[in-house]
Amino acid sequence: MKTICTVSMLFLCILALAGTCPGMEFKKVVMYDDQAFVSFDQEITGHISLGAPPEMIPESLVLTPLTGGSVRSVSIEPMRNTSGKARDLKDSLGKKQSALDVLKRDQAMLEKQIDIIYDAAGSKGKATAFDKTHLSDALGFIESRVSGLNSRIVELTRKEERIDLEIKDLQCRLNKVNQNPGYKIDITGNGRLEISYVVRAASWRPEYRVYASPGDPELALETSVQARQMSGVDWDIKEMLVSTGRPGIGIQAPELQPWYLRKARKHPAKLQAEASDTAQKAEAGTIEDAQVPVEATSTSYLIGAAENIHLAGDGTPAAVKISKQALKADFSLMSVPKYSRYAYLRTEFMLKGDAPLVPGPYSSFVDNVYSGRGEMRRFEPGQKISLDLGVDEGVKVERKETQAFRDKTIGGRNRVTYTCEITLENTRSKNALLTVKDQVPVSQDKGIVVDLIKTAPEIQPDQDGILTWSLDLEPHKKAKAVFSYSITGNNINPD
């Protein structure tokens, strides 16, 4: 039997221990892209109170009695400011304020005594002034009494300033505690329970490394995760997994509403359109590994990451390696001279394993040398993956427009003719298999006609106007790809 409640994000220490716990041990943690599911075992005899941070999602709390255990009741409520840390701060603040009031009263009394002394020694309100003898005695009395009183006032002022700073510091700390007092979980039962809930201040993201040598028909794909949490309490995790899902976001499918078409009126009234999103898109993330266990749930993937992981509570990321596997790969060079004068080393391979790859950054190492950083797209198991590994500086690429002239057709329509020439040079001592891509425009207007005049080597564009040449460049040789096309019509805008 499960008793389900909710608790949000980050977990704190067990409140039964007054004070701050240096860390928390968890039997299992599942990391999502913006939250974490945590679970631990707890022995209960009668009653126990647990503290949870303000980021906790109360609805996610689950209590599962283990063998011989039982739960009679459970409740969750916000922590009261009169208990725990807030209560201690309030007590300290009250004592400091009382001490400051006493110091101020003492200072006021001393200042009053000084006023009385000066009044008594003066001649104000008296029938006759002091004679010289009495005035000398009065000045001596003032010097002996007032000097001591002034010293005590100076000492009290310093104490007041120090206590005033301490009061401000306590008030600032109390304000922070009062803003997010967190939750208190009260459980009544017996035996051992598994306690789990979800906290928000946790996340993970993938990191990939690709190791390739074009002379070898294999590459190595290494997958790791950067995990972090900001609960304020360190986590010691026995088993950590990552999930491709995102609980609580977009769980309701959208519904279609009737789509009405109406004739436009000559004087249409202003209408206010109201739209509401019934679901939010959440891009699932994941991590790929051939050896690590993968559990496919009905909505996402759970991927075993690592054991005995320590996550600091201040958000410091921990790198956790997931897998490193060898994959059969093909290598080639790709160039798009219209946008770049470089040739790029590209690899293609089939994704193995049971889980997809989540979008994230990857680092490329070619022949054991770092060659750059790219962005991995999402790929499904069994899907063919194409990744660029860096610029091949041994291939030179140059593109130029050698001819562009305007004339008119027999019917008097404008015509513009373009000729483009691409020069490729292989400066290396081995052959270079190179794919070169360019394009001709595609007309979406019946009044504009695009004609491909020639290509060399001869090829045909695809339906999107993309021209693709596959060339085998010999060592220290050059090659050219040329194409020309014309655009005919009025008001031509080839861009």
Report domain extents, the chain. 3-79+182-198, 85-178, 203-249+282-328+346-387, 395-488
Q: What are phi and psi of 119, to 5 degrees?
A: -65, -40
Query: Cα–Cα distance between 469 and 434 in angstroms, integer?
Result: 8
Q: Does the pLDDT at position 102 exceed 50?
A: yes
Q: Please report, rounded to a whole number, the percentage of residues in the chain having pLDDT higher than 90.
A: 31
Q: Is 120 helix (H, G, I), strand (E, B) or coil?
A: helix
Q: Does the pLDDT at position 235 exceed 70?
A: yes
Alpha carbon 445 to its chain's center:
45
Long-range contacts of 439-446 (CB under 8 A, 24+ apart): 439/338, 439/464, 439/465, 439/466, 439/467, 440/465, 440/467, 440/483, 440/485, 441/465, 441/485, 441/487, 441/494, 443/487, 443/489, 445/489
Q: Which of 398-407, 432-441, 464-473 has the lowest mean pLDDT?
A: 398-407
CB-CB neighbours of 8 under 10 Å: 24
Q: Does the pLDDT at position 277 exceed 70?
A: no
User: What does the pLDDT read at residue 113?
Assistant: 80
| More confidently predicted of 248 and 436 | 436
Query: What is the average per-residue pLDDT within 11-30?
Result: 57
Query: Cα–Cα distance between 146 and 144 in angstroms, integer?
Result: 6
Query: Cα–Cα distance between 443 and 465 in angstroms, integer?
Result: 10
Is residue 238 within 8 Å of 27, Cβ to Cβ? yes
| More confidently predicted of 408 and 36 | 36
**CATH number given to 395-488:** 2.60.40
| More confidently predicted of 252 and 351 | 351
User: What does the pLDDT read at residue 210?
Assistant: 94
Kindly list the distances between the CA atom of residue 330 and the CA atoms of 115, 217, 218, 378, 479, in Å, as whole numbers in the listed order.
Answer: 98, 6, 8, 20, 23
The average confidence (pLDDT) of the chain is: 78
Please state whether beta strands 23-26 and 234-243 pair in parallel, antiparallel, or not at all (unpaired). parallel
Q: Does the pLDDT at position 397 exceed 90?
A: yes
Residue type, 361: P
Q: Does the pLDDT at position 430 exceed 70?
A: yes
Query: Cα–Cα distance between 83 and 15 in angstroms, integer?
Result: 11
What global pTM score does this model have?
0.61
User: What does the pLDDT read at residue 304?
Assistant: 73
Residue type, 100: L
Query: What is the average per-residue pLDDT within 8-26?
Result: 45
Class of domain 85-178: mainly alpha
Q: Does the pLDDT at position 470 exceed 90?
A: yes
Q: What is the pLDDT of residues 305-338, one digit of tens each?
A: 788 889 888 888 888 888 888 899 999 999 999 9
Query: What is the average per-residue pLDDT within 441-454?
Result: 88
